[in-house]
Amino acid sequence: MPFSPESLTLDALIHTGIAVAVIVVVAVILRFVINRVIGHVANGAGVPGLLSLLRKRRGVTDADRIQAFGSARRAQRARTVSSVIRNAATILIFGTAFMMVLGQFGVNLAPVLASAGVVGLAIGFGAQNLVKDFLSGIFMLLEDQYGVGDHVDLGDAIGTIERVGLRTTTVRDVTGMVWYVRNGTIERVGNGSQDHAVAVLDIPLALDTDVTHAATIAEEAAVAAIDENGHGGDVLDKPQVLGVESLSASGMTLRLTARTKPGRQWAVQRSMTERVVAALRADEVMLAA
């Protein structure tokens, strides 16, 4: 019931004060507990994989490295998502507590809720793009479409992720240009940094080349290039020739690939290219023009 001068008795004030204090204390405790639970879950994400890798110290396999890399990504994603959940929980808890306090003072909540609904509808209609950006950012984080350090193709922006926010994603391309991409405008994501990458080497050969002989030379040279340039820790599988990729009137293309760690494919590819070309020329294998 609304306050009136007649209702301002000592008992009423004490009762209202105690009720308000209880509401505030419960809200603060509830927020603290929820934040602790969310923080515990977020801090625990990815830790087992990292600790397991550290305990091994020696004899770490490529699968272990990939597992630890995925654990770090999950931890980063969990921290970002937990921040969103914390903020949403805080708004919900203290918003509810505020309404309950108003109810203790006899304020009619129906007009307040109706006004809040109208204002929220107006804000939501006027900020459709902003809401779309935030929702897209949340789903991208939950689905782990990309993370900081990944090399991605977002359509108009191609480069390395420098920052992942709920509204925008920051990408730096090969020229050093920084692109700020709104999450709501991203329709497709090409990620070259998840799980593994592939170094691809297309070798143009003349039509009269002995393909089997050229493939043997190329494969041996690629293996030697990896050993000589210290890429043994970057390559997950031994380089192998897949065969003739294309054929034309001027020549044919022999394809050689090597599975690598994410982001290391270009360095491995450059090393293999230099060594393979030198080996083919030394053996007088004719390259196509």
In this prediction, what percent of the chain has a pLDDT beyond 90?
31
CB-based contacts of 60: which residues, under 8 Å, 6+ apart? Answer: 53
Would you say 49 and 70 are in contact if contact means Cβ atoms under 8 Å apart? yes
The whole model's pTM is what?
0.57
Name the DSSP letter for residue 285. Answer: P
What radius of gyration do the chain's Cα atoms show?
Answer: 30
CATH says 197-282 is which class?
Answer: alpha beta
pLDDT above 90: residue 254: yes
The predicted pLDDT at position 58 comes to: 46
Task: Name which of 98-112, 196-210, 213-227, 263-277 the model is least confident about.
Answer: 98-112
More confident residue, 77 or 226: 226
Distance CA 41, CA 82 (A): 8
pLDDT of amino acid 46: 45
The predicted-structure confidence for 217-233, as pLDDT tens digits, reads as follows 999 999 999 988 888 88
What does the DSSP assignment read for 113-132?
A: HHHHHHHHHHHHHHTHHHHH
- Weakest mean pLDDT among 62-71, 80-89, 116-125, 199-208: 62-71
List Cβ neighbours of 188 (8 Å cut-off, separation of 6 or more): 153, 154, 155
Whether residue 197 is predicted with pLDDT greater than 90 in this model: the reply is no
55: enclosing H helix or E strand: helix 47-56
pLDDT at site 221: 94
pLDDT on residue 75: 66
pLDDT in tens, 152-168: 999 889 999 888 888 89
Specify the pLDDT at position 273: 92
Q: Give backbone dihedrals phi and psi of 201, rounded to 5 degrees, phi first.
A: -125, 115
Average of per-residue pLDDT across 133-140: 85
Q: Residue 194: helix, strand or coil by DSSP?
A: coil
Residue 189: exposure state from Cβ atoms within 10 A (0-12, 13-18, ≥19):
middle
**pLDDT given at position 141:** 80
Instruction: Say yes or no to pLDDT of 73 above 70.
Output: no
pLDDT at 60 over 50: no
- Residue listed under structure tokens 């006027």: 126
What is the DSSP code string of 139-160? HHHHTT---TT-EEE-SS-EEE
pLDDT at 77: 66
More confident residue, 121 or 86: 86
Calculate mean pLDDT across residues 78-86. Answer: 74
Token pair belonging to 39: 């923080």
Region 65-83 average pLDDT: 61
* % helix, strand, coil for the chain, step of 5: 55, 15, 25
In what helix (H) or strand (E) does residue 268 lie, and over which residues does it extend?
Answer: helix 265-282
Q: Where are the domains of the chain?
A: 5-126, 144-191, 197-282
Cα(130)–Cα(167) distance, integer angstroms: 7
pLDDT (0 to 100) of residue 5:
53
**Residue 144 in contact with residue 76, Cβ under 8 Å?**
no
Mean pLDDT score of the chain? 81
> Which CATH code for domain 144-191?
2.30.30.60
Backbone dihedral angles phi then psi of residue 210, each to the nearest 5 degrees = -75, 105
Task: Count the helices and strands in the chain (H runs, E runs).
Answer: 7, 8
The residue ranking higher by pLDDT, 186 or 142, is 186
